[in-house]
């Protein structure tokens, strides 16, 4: 009985991961780079969740810029705005919204909305986590469609099915962005 329950759970998680992937059209790095107003390598230093005048919850993600890969220089910081977040006991989230955490090193592809606010392009596709491997000196990046999946990420099934379950180095990502800008 335990074996069947475990198998059912695995199938359920794989189905959920495939369902999420099916709800998004995968964007290539070149497409992300072409459509982005800016591509920024930075570190999340602060996050704040607020409510707008209509009662909707939104989050501001404050990045300390390490490198501006594309776009005009905007100083040492970038603030990204996204819908949803956790405000008191209220939680508003989308499964395809990028998840940021304080202290994380990221590369973000952003567009600027009509108010001049940075918004992550392509939802979770426009945010790459930076992973440094001190034992090898290799720096890789990943998001739901590019780079290796986290060990506990059910979307790894989707990446393997799409043939995208291979490491993506930080240097290769920057090379693809710069090639797309030409």
Q: How far apart are CA 120 and CA 32, in angstroms?
A: 10
Q: Which helix (H) or strand (E) holds 97?
A: none
Q: How far apart are CA 121 and CA 116, in angstroms?
A: 14
On the 0-12 / 13-18 / 19+ scale of CB atoms within 10 A, 18 is middle
Asked if pLDDT for residue 55 goes beyond 80, the answer is: yes
What pLDDT does residue 160 have?
A: 56
What proportion of the chain, given as a percentage, has pLDDT over 70?
78
Return the domain boundaries, the chain. Answer: 2-181
More confident position, 8 or 154: 154
Q: What is the pLDDT of residues 169-182, one digit of tens each?
A: 999 999 999 999 88
Least confident span in 20-24, 40-44, 97-101: 20-24
Q: Are 141 and 129 in contact (CB under 8 A)?
A: yes
More confident position, 39 or 137: 39
Give the CATH number of domain 2-181; options: 2.30.30, 1.10.260, 2.60.40, 2.40.50: 2.40.50
Q: How far apart are CA 167 and CA 148, in angstroms?
A: 5
Asked if pLDDT for residue 97 goes beyond 70, the answer is: yes
What proportion of the chain, given as a percentage, has pLDDT over 90?
53
On average, the pLDDT of the chain sits at: 83
């Amino acid at each position: 009985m335990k074996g069947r329950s475990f198998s059912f759970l695995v199938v359920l998680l794989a189905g959920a991961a495939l369902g999420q992937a099916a709800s998004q059209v995968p964007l290539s790095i070149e497409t992300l780079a072409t459509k982005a107003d800016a591509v920024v390598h930075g570190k999340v230093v602060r996050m704040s969740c607020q409510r707008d005048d209509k009662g909707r919850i939104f989050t501001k993600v404050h990045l300390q810029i390490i490198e501006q890969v594309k776009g005009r220089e905007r100083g040492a910081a970038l603030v990204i705005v996204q819908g949803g977040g956790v405000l008191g006991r209220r939680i508003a989230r989308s499964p395809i919204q990028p998840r940021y955490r304080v202290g994380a090193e990221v590369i973000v592809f952003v567009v600027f909305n009509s108010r001049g606010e940075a918004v992550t392009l392509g939802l979770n596709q426009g945010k790459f986590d930076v992973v440094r491997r001190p034992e090898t000196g290799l720096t890789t990046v990943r998001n739901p469609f590019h780079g290796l999946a986290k060990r506990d990420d059910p979307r790894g099934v989707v990446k393997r099915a799409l043939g995208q379950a291979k490491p993506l180095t930080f240097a290769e990502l920057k090379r693809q962005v710069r090639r797309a800008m030409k």
